[in-house]
Amino acid sequence: MEVWFNHGQESGPWGLKITRLAEVTRAAGATVTSIDYRHTRDPDERVRHLLAQPRPEGPLVLVGSSMGGYVAAAASAALRPAGLFLMAPAFYLPGYEGDVTPHAGDVEVVHGWRDELIPPAHSVRYTGACRGRLHVLDGDHGLSEVIDDIAALFARFLDRVGTAATP
C-alpha cells in the first residue's frame, strides 16, 4: 500500500501532521510519498499536479489537510484510491468548486470544532452525503493539539483499508 500526503495551502510537504502520520504509515508497512505543492496556491492546479504523479502498482491511500483535502478528494475520481483520509478539508468554499465526490473504498474525515477557517458543518455535510466516517475533535484548523488522536484514528484507518485491499 502507498500513502500520498497532500498538504494545505499554508504548510509544506513535511509539516507536523504529515510527519506524524508518515510515522504511522511506515509502522503499518506502507510507503510514504508527500507531494510538494509550494509552487502554486491554485487548488485545481494542485489537482493536476497530483494526477501527473506516477501511479503506484498497489493500493493507494490519499491523505489531505485543508486545501490538500480538496485536492485528494477531487483527484479521487481519476485515481480511485482504496481510501481517503481528510483533515479539515476545504470543501464548499469560494474557489473550491471542483467535484469532490469521493471515489474511494473508505472515507474518513477529521475536523476541529474550533476551526476558524472552515466550518465543521462543511465536513458534516460531506461525510453525510458519502456516508463516510466523521470525527469532530476539540481542535482548531491546524488540529495540532489533537495530533495524537488523529494518529490513532489514522492507524485504525490504515489497518481497515489495508485489510480490505488485501486479496
Please write the tens of the pLDDT for every residue from 58-78.
999 999 999 999 999 999 999
Give me the phi and psi of 104, to 5 degrees please.
Answer: -150, 155
pLDDT < 50 stretches in the chain: none
Per-residue pLDDT, 70: 98
Give me the phi and psi of 5, to 5 degrees please.
Answer: -95, 140
3-class state of residue 115 by DSSP: coil
Tell me if 53 sits within 8 A of 34, measured CB to CB: no
Query: Pick from 1, 4, 106, 83: which is nearest to 47 by CA?
Result: 4
Q: How many CB atoms sit inside 10 A of residue 132's CB? A: 18
d(CA 83, CA 101): 13
Per-residue pLDDT, 167: 58
Per-residue pLDDT, 163: 82
Residue 1 corresponds to which cell in the numbers above? 500500500
Per-residue pLDDT, 69: 98
